[in-house]
Amino acid sequence: MGSIIVLFELEPDQAIGPDGVEPVVRGVHAAGADPDAPEDPLPQTLCGLDTDAMEHSHYRPTGPGEPWYPPALHEQRCQRCEAGLRSTL
């Protein structure tokens, strides 16, 4: 797989988080980049979820060895997406 897009699965019916600023992230998922529009994800995440309802995180690892997900959201990362990423390496 070439490039991945990191997506946020937000809590349903809650566009704004408890502090009134940020949404509550339920899960962090990975999807392949669309070859025709590299900034857009493919229709499904690596774990098989629909990407239409997810928010693009615009996260990119800053260097080698950095995780594919934002480090502050370690607990919310999707284990199935992570396993999918490992299998493509």
Residue closest to 7 by CA, chosen among 89, 76, 64: 76
How many CB atoms lie under 10 A from the CB of residue 78?
Answer: 21
Query: Contact 5/32 with Cβ under 8 angstroms?
Result: yes
Domain with 8, as residue range(s), is 4-77
Provide the domain count of the chain.
1
pLDDT of 12 over the 60 cut: yes
| Per-residue pLDDT reduced to its tens digit, 25-79 | 999 999 999 999 999 999 999 999 999 989 999 999 888 889 999 999 999 999 9
Q: Does 41 fall in a domain?
A: yes
pTM of the model: 0.85
In a domain, 28, yes or no: yes
Q: Is residue 87 part of a domain?
A: no
Residue 11 counted as domain residue: yes
